[in-house]
Each structure stands twice: as structure tokens, then as C-alpha cells.
Amino acid sequence: MEERVEASSGILQEAPAQPEQKTATAAALMIRALERQGVEYIFGYPGGAVMPVYDALTDSPIRHILARHEQGAGFAAEGYARVTGKVGVCLVTSGPGLTNLLTGIADAYADSVPMVAIVGQVPEALMGTDAFQEVDSFGITMPVVKHSMIARDPAKLPALVTEAMHIAASGRPGPVLIELPKDVGAATVSESDDWPAPPAAPVADPRAKLDLAEAMIRNASKPLFYVGGGAAISRASEAVRNIVERTGIPVVATLKGLGVLPTDHPNFIGMLGMHGRKAANYAVQACDLLIAVGARFDDRVTGKVDTFAPGARVIHMDADAAEISKIRTADLGLSGLLPANLEAINPGPLDIEPWIWRVDSLKEKHHRSYDAPGDGIYAPRLLRDLSVAAGDSMIMTTDVGQHQMWVAQHCRFIRPEAHLTSGGLGAMGFGIPAGIGAILAEPDACVITVTGDGSIMMNIQELATINRYGLNLKILLLDNSCLGMVRQWQTIFYDGNHSEVDLSDNPDFAAIARAFGLEAFTIERATEVPGAIERLLNTPGAVLMHVKIDPRENVWPMVPPGVAISNMMEEEPCPTT
């Protein structure tokens, strides 16, 4: 019976109808929360435990990108995140979906990439019973995530997603796992307009610490910036460039810091470390003040750590306070926001002309020659010419191995988002799916993936993803018929005992690419390179350029393990015949 109320006139009236409470599945509200967070793409692969989420996706403006392997989905989400600075989102089912994604999660953790991984799980009543496609997602991923969440309350799922997105992007970014039991995602709940807001961002360090940094810089005669991936992740490139212009201090960079200062900038010396430029390593060893900006003193950079920059005081700036003095004790640690700290430091005119002259002399003395003997293709020269021809719109993704180091040593990068590589984890198979994410992030960019004949086989199935979505990805495959970096180490440190590195039975990669619907061609002579670069860059659509190179080529210089970075091995290029 309808409720009746008595009005002030004493006449009975019908009560106004209460608005009907809208309901939706928790999965649908989760997708709504991702929409409110500005998510454009979800990279994933469907399965039983995440069917409620895929059901909700059909009505969403978020575009789902179907990878052909969950690892590919994770790397693609990373590529998107590394270019945009936004959180990359991936979605996989339980069991093998999660275990296949694990490498992508670990890679995001190692390189501090913001990612939210939504992983299906069996219904709550079956958790812990060894049910079909059940694994302990929470336990398996614990060492390689910034934070983990298990969705228990369907009504709180939107708030959980909002919190996960904030945690992934704030402070030192990283991957966040949301484990979603199937019954929780399928539950019907009431919709609400009460959406949580993320907390405010932190600010710069106290002025007194910044004043001390200024004083240390003023008192140094040989200061040097050591720029790492944290500067790229925190979008501190402009602030780095500004302080370099204000002070004139030279700069070296890690693998992940390349492009924070353009590699052709007059103050840039080069990459440092195991395969760094000789001038960069010598400058580090000679400096009296090392200003580490978003760098973590990784072993590939420092060599024997107690011999690294032996005469230098250290200012260590990092968004993650736990990194400061973790490996090398800092004389001053600054843990606030990198852009704000860098902009706040202004030590005034510096009297460092003799130091700048010395650094310029090192650069000139150790300038690299690209005149390789023989008629074969010299990979460093090819990569240098390709990066120049591609221009300022270039984004280059790489796999892991010799080609990765050649790219870092020889290619031109004007911004850090132009160089995407698996640094901390060193995961082969990263390049092509990361290129997919990059080209979705910047469709008008010239996106190039540089891969090797070992690496491409790790995620070659993603050529189907490229074809499905009509992505204009350019792939340069350097084929030396071996696992080149492992072979190089075996040659130098294991008396040439080349164990299990022979890939001379490689398939016809150009034919495989064409079978996936891509344009493809093969070259093997130096005279073919100019025309091949033009064809790669100017052919519409996705193209694979298969390049055969000499398997004896090594990456030089090289710092052997356990020695100072000034102890570099170097050898002339072998004849490319």
C-alpha cells in the first residue's frame, strides 16, 4: 500500500516517490572508476575469472587492446606508461594469466613504471582449495609490486581502484596489483556518486637543505650531474635542462636517464657505466662533486662501488628516500620532488672553466669513429644514421642484448620518453610490445623497435597485435645468428666456450613478418643501408627490416665486473665481411 501523508491543510496527499536506486555489477563500477581516472587503454587477455570485467568493458569508452600473450600485455602497458607518464593498466585472468604477466610486473617494478595490474581470481569460496586456475597471486607478486590489494567488498571496488591508481603514480612509481575474485566482480551493488579523491602531492625539501646544496655546488671546482631514470620518471627533464643552463655543469646519464638532457647537448658527455662512453667514465672518476639526480648507484653504473667517483662528495636527489645512501653514502640527501628541488637550487655563477675545458677535451679525445672495415653492415653506424633520419618525433624501444647497448651508445635522443628499454630487469621480449604501447600513446610519433634475433622470438606473437590494430610500428631486427651478449661474455671470460648461443637455425624472419601481414625485407651489405632506412621510415604501415650482421661484433667499451669504471676494455671493430 502506498504511504499517504497529511499536508498542512489537513488534506491527505500521496508521498513523493523515492528515486529508484541504480545498481550495477562491481566490475562495471570498477570500469567506471578507471574511466574517471582518465584511463584510455587496457591491455589484456580474457579468461574465466575476469569475464565479469570483460562483460562490462563492452559499454565503456576505454579501448581494450588484445595482446596475444599476457607478458605482451604487461610490456605494452609499460610502453604506454613510459611515454605518457600515466598509469598503464593491464587485465588478465587467474592462474596462467597472472604467471604469464609476472615478468611485465617485475619489469615495471625494476624500472619504477606506474602500472595497475587487475588479475582475476577464483571465487572467494574456492580460494585456498587448489581450484582450477588458482594461484596465490598475492604471494607470488609480493616481492615485485609497490602494493597489493585483494578485492573483498564489491561496494568498495571503485575506491580500491582509485587508491591503486594513486599509489602506482605517486612518489616513486611502480606496479600495483588488484586481485579480483570472480564472485566479487560479478556481484550487484548500488551505484554511488561518492567517488574518493586522491591525496595531495608532496612538495620540495626544506629551504635549509637546498641552501646547503647550493653551497656545495659553489665550492666545487669539478661538479658533475649524474642523471638516472628517476629524473625521467618524475618528468624532471625541463628542470634538469634549466639547472644545467644556469650552472654550466657537465652531465652524464645512465641507460634510463638518456634523453633527460638531449644527447647532442654540448654539456652532455654520454652514458656512463659498464658500456658507457669512455669520456663519461673518466669524468666521473675525476669529479669532486657528484650530483645524483634520480639515480640509484646501480652495479652496472658503478663497477666496484668503493672505487666509483673516489674523490667526490655526493649530493643524492631521489623521490624515494630509501634509495639515498643505500649503496653510496651521500654527503647530502634530498628526497622531495625532483623538479621542485632542481628549480629551487640556484648557486649563482660558477668558476669551473678549467673543468669544462677538461671534459670537452675528453669528449674530443674519445670521439667514436664509425668507419668500420669491410662491406658488411656496422650496427653502430646504422643505428646512428637511423636515429638521425627519424628526427625529433622518434620513439625507440629496444629489447635486451648487444643491440640495446648499441642503441644507448649511438642513437640520438632529445627526450627520455624517446628511449624505452628494460633497464633493471633486462627482459628480452620487451621491445615489440613496448612499441605497441608507445605508438598508442603517441600515434603521430615515429616509433621504432630495435630487436635482436634472440629477443624477437620471446614475443613474436605480438606481430599479430600490430596487424590487428593497424599500428605503424617500424621494426629493425639485427640478426647475428647468436645470443650476442652472452657470446661476448663467453668469448672474453670463458675462454671462448660458446655454450648454447648458436642461433644459426633461425627462421626466415622477413617471411614470418609477411605471414603476420607486415611489410618486410632483408639486407646484409653496407651499400644497402641508406635505401633500407628510407624504405623502413617511409613505407606506410608496419615494416620489419631484417639486417644480417657479423656475429663476431662486440659492444665496446666494456668494464669487466669487479673493477673501477675507468678500467675499460676496447677493441677495434672486426672486419665486416
Q: What is the 3-state secondary structure (H, E, C) of 8-31?
A: CCCCEEECCCCCCCCEEEHHHHHH
Nearest to 135 by CA among 198, 93, 84: 93
Catalytic residue chosen out of the listed positions 40, 133, 156, 457: 133
Q: What is the 3-state secondary structure (H, E, C) of 356-418?
A: HHHHHHHHHHCCCCCCCCCCCCCHHHHHHHHHHHHCCCEEEEECCCHHHHHHHHHCCCCCHHH
Alpha-carbon span 559 to 66, nearest angstrom: 41
Strands (E), 104-204: 115-121, 147-150, 175-181, 188-190
Catalytic, 500? Answer no
DSSP3 helix / strand / coil % (the chain, rounded to 5) = 40, 20, 40
> With contact defined as beta carbons under 8 Å apart, do 450 and 394 qualify?
no
Catalytic, 238? Answer no
- Preceding omega of 52 cis (within 30 degrees of 0): no
- 364 Cβ neighbours under 8 A, 6+ residues apart: none
List phi, psi (to 5°) of 480: -110, 15
> With contact defined as beta carbons under 8 Å apart, do 54 and 185 qualify?
no
Task: Give residue 14's Cα distance to chain centre.
Answer: 63
Catalytic, 121? Answer no
Instruction: Tell me the CA distances in angstroms from 464 to 371, 432, 459, 513, 514, one per residue in order.
Output: 38, 11, 10, 9, 11
Catalytic residue chosen out of the listed positions 182, 222, 278, 363: 182
- Ramachandran assignment for 465, one of left (phi > 0), alpha (psi -120 to 50 degrees), beta (any other): alpha
Stretch (H or E) spanning 98? helix 96-110
Pairing of strands 313-317, 394-398: unpaired
Q: Which three cell numbers stand for residue 285?
A: 672518476
Catalytic residue chosen out of the listed positions 13, 132, 191, 238: 132
Alpha-carbon span 380 to 405, nearest angstrom: 10
Q: Where are the alpha helices (DSSP H) in 266-311?
A: 278-286, 299-302
SS3 call for 67:
coil
> With contact defined as beta carbons under 8 Å apart, do 217 and 350 qualify?
yes
Amino acid identity, residue 127? Answer: M
| Sign of the dihedral through C-alpha 493, 496, 499, 502 | positive
Catalytic residue chosen out of the listed positions 216, 485, 545, 568: 485
Catalytic residue chosen out of the listed positions 37, 70, 121, 256: 70
Alpha-carbon span 204 to 338, nearest angstrom: 8
Q: Which three cell numbers stand for residue 199?
A: 591525496
Catalytic, 132? Answer yes
> With contact defined as beta carbons under 8 Å apart, do 53 and 180 qualify?
yes
Alpha-carbon span 559 to 281, nearest angstrom: 10
Catalytic, 326? Answer no
- Which residues belong to the active site? 70, 132-133, 182, 485
